[in-house]
Amino acid sequence: MEYRKLGNTDLELSVITHGAFAIGGNMWGGNEKQDSIHSIHASLDHGVTSIDTAPFYGFGLSEEMIGEAIKGKDRSKIQLLTKFGLVWDGSNNGKGEFFFDAEEDGKKIPVYKFASKENIIKEVEESLKRLKTDYIDLLQLHWPDSTTPIGETMEALEILIQQGKIRTAGVSNYSVEQMEEANKTLKLASNQVSYSMLNRAIENDLAPYSLENNSGIIVYSPMERGLLTGKYFKESQLKENDHRNGYFSQFDLHKVKTFLDKIEPIAQEKGATLSQLVLRWTTLQPAITVVLAGARNAQQAIENAKALSFDLSQEELNFINAELAQL
């Protein structure tokens, strides 16, 4: 495993970080509790020291399972990354920005973006309780909230840092303009954004900005929710309530399959899977600090961790990039 410092902070994270969205179950067709906990243990056993979650993942369930999974572990050797700013329990009293309707047990649950100072303080206390810890290594705003001034959100984060409840602060899904506004109040450690072989938009603006300003980039959805594993083309049956049924429709699946077929020989030469090759390529892109990799069981967690067991030559990177240009 490799480890990198996040932006201008002293927080060091494992380059492959355990992404804990899927183990929450909601939107992913459910998951077995023991499989989820075993996935975390397997990650830790194979050098992955960082775990990224959010209150919204499973409506608190993901954080709770992480708290259970790390019980008895050396907390100083584990970095917990969580978020705030998505409210689903009605505690926002109609305030904030409506995001979308989630579903649980067939019921619609309205989710709001809400990043007020009061709400942040409240959410952090709830997260600390679920995670069974007294501090969070990196606290991130989950999505921008247009109804709350960015300065107010940053001031709350600054207070939490001073109180020792969080080590450092970041955001997620922020534009360059929003980063600039936030940094007037608080120097952010990072921005967590969507990035993959099929989605490289941040290379136009956010990546150069982050390099210039020594700000970390944490990548989510590097596998495009499993599409780039290649498994979908062999086992294309997804559960009816799996959100990926609609998500995958945005891509030209024939071109994606052709691309994966062309790069698979590189993975085979490395004794690696397609998933590991895709993850490794992602870790080697400029400005990328950390790559989140989801795992629903121990086997997937181990496979993700081993994506750092090999390297790619410049010639191999050039070949992959040339094939990507054909998509």
Dist CA 21 CA 296 (whole Å): 9
**Tokens of residue 310, six digits:** 């090999």
267 within domain boundaries: no
Specify the pairing of strand 16-19 against strand 97-104: unpaired
| Residue 26 burial by Cβ neighbours in a 10 Å radius (0-12, 13-18, 19+) | buried
Give the alpha-carbon dihedral of 143, 148, 152, 154, to 10 degrees. Answer: 10
318 within domain boundaries: no
Domain ranges, residue 94: 3-248+283-311
Which pLDDT belongs to residue 239?
A: 67
Q: How far is CA 53 from CA 216, 294, 319, in A?
A: 17, 10, 34
**Which residues contact residue 325 at a Cβ distance below 8 angstroms, ignoring those fewer than 6 apart?**
none
273 within domain boundaries: no
User: Where in the sequence numbering do the catalytic residues fall?
Assistant: 57
**Which residues contact residue 308 at a Cβ distance below 8 angstroms, ignoring those fewer than 6 apart?**
1, 2, 15, 16, 47, 280, 283
Q: Are 153 and 118 in contact (CB under 8 A)?
A: no
Q: How many domains does the chain have?
A: 1
127 within domain boundaries: yes
Which pLDDT belongs to residue 27?
A: 43
Adjacent-strand bridge partners of 276: none
196 within domain boundaries: yes
**Which residues contact residue 137 at a Cβ distance below 8 angstroms, ignoring those fewer than 6 apart?**
11, 50, 79, 80, 81, 166, 167, 168
Tell me which H or E stretch contains 246: helix 244-247
Tell me which amino acid residue 218 is: I
Tell me which H or E stretch contains 266: helix 253-270
83 within domain boundaries: yes
CA neighbor of 63 nearest in space, from 106, 20, 11: 20
297 within domain boundaries: yes
Residues 264-279: tens digit of each pLDDT? 999 999 999 999 999 9
Residues 191-232: tens digit of each pLDDT? 999 999 999 999 999 999 999 999 999 999 999 988 898 887
Mean pLDDT by 10 residues, the chain (327 residues): 96 97 57 82 97 94 93 96 94 91 84 96 97 98 97 97 98 98 97 96 96 97 88 69 73 88 96 96 97 93 96 97 92
24 within domain boundaries: yes
Sequence-ordered alpha helix ranges (H) in 92-205: 117-131, 150-163, 176-182
Q: Give me the CATH number covering residue 41.
A: 3.20.20.100
Adjacent-strand bridge partners of 294: 19
Q: Are 208 and 287 in contact (CB under 8 A)?
A: yes
Lay out the sheet containing 86-87: strands in order across.
86-87, 107-113, 97-104
